Amino acid sequence: MKLQKPIFEGAATAIITPFRDDKVDFDALGALIEHQIASGINGIVVCGTTGESSTLTDEEHRETIKFTVDRVAGRVPVIAGTGSNDYAYAIDLSQYACEVGADALLHVTPYYNKASQAGLVKYFSKIADNVTKPVILYNVPSRTGCAIGIDAYKELAEHPRIVATKEACGDISFIVKLCRAVGDKMDIYSGNDDQIVPLMSVGAKGVISVLSNVAPAVTAEMTRACLEGDFKRGGELQLEYLDLINALFMTVNPIPVKVAMSMLGLCTDELRLPLCTMSDAENEKMRKTLEVYGGRIR
Tell me the catalytic residues: 138, 166
| Residues written for the chain | 298
Measure CA of the first residue to CA of the last residue in the chain; give whole Å: 38
Q: What angle do CA 226, 182, 83 make, to 5 degrees?
A: 90
CA distances from 285 to 156, 243, 278 (A): 42, 11, 10
- Region at 291 (left for phi over 0; alpha for psi -120 to 50; beta for the rest): alpha
Amino acid making up residue 36: Q
| 256 neighbors 247 (Cβ within 8 angstroms) | yes
Q: Contact 44/202 with Cβ under 8 angstroms?
A: no
> Could you give the residue ranges of the DSSP H alpha helices within the chain?
26-38, 58-72, 87-99, 117-129, 141-144, 150-156, 172-182, 196-200, 211-214, 216-227, 231-240, 242-247, 255-263, 280-293
